[in-house]
Amino acid sequence: MFKAIRSKTVSLLLIFSFILFYSPHLINGEAVGKGNLIGFVYEKDATTPFEGAIVKLKNISTSLIYESNKTDKLGTFKFEGIDEGLYIAGISSIEGDFNVENFIGIKADETAKVSFALTPQAEGEKTKKPKTKKGIDLAKLFTSPLGLAIIVAASVAIVYTVVTLTEAEPEASPFKR
């Protein structure tokens, strides 16, 4: 009787620990930290400040887009209070739209500094179509409710298997009833 209660308790503790391990964001209810970004936009020569450009940032994980004011005479722009994470950037100006090829990382309570030069795209790049990605994005799957359900179900199955395999068989003895 005590073995049954102990194995159920161990099973429940293991299930609970797997849930906590695989989904720490459920316990940590803190808001996402905010950071800042300051930067400069330069003309194609990479030395002359460019006035009037608008810098756009897109958060890779949330797809949230931030847009700066127009750059001033020194080519400066500033983002304040943006969510912590990785961003891709683009620049809109009277000369056209420009993509930045590098990622920008924003940390909470810190100010990142960057500079961009308005370099034109190569001729071959203008005609390329974006490649479509086939298959499942595992990062998005496991952060969705369906993914969490899959993780919990797999964890329960593993714990149940471990508990049933480690349970001791009662000893066959003619003296014990």
Tell me, yes or no, if the pTM score tops 0.75: no
**Weakest-pLDDT range from 34-43, 80-89, 163-172:** 163-172
Domains of the chain (ranges, CATH numbers): 2-28+135-166 (no CATH), 34-127 (2.60.40.10)
Cβ partners under 8 Å of residue 152, min gap 6: 18, 19, 22
pLDDT one-digit tens code per residue, 64-98: 899 999 999 999 999 999 989 899 999 998 888 88
* Residue 76 burial by Cβ neighbours in a 10 Å radius (0-12, 13-18, 19+): middle
77, 152 Cβ separation under 8 angstroms: no
Tokens 């349970």 locate to 167
At 127, the pLDDT band (50, 70, 90 cuts) reads: very low
pLDDT of residue 32: 64
Residues 158 and 141: their CA atoms lie apart, in Å, by 20
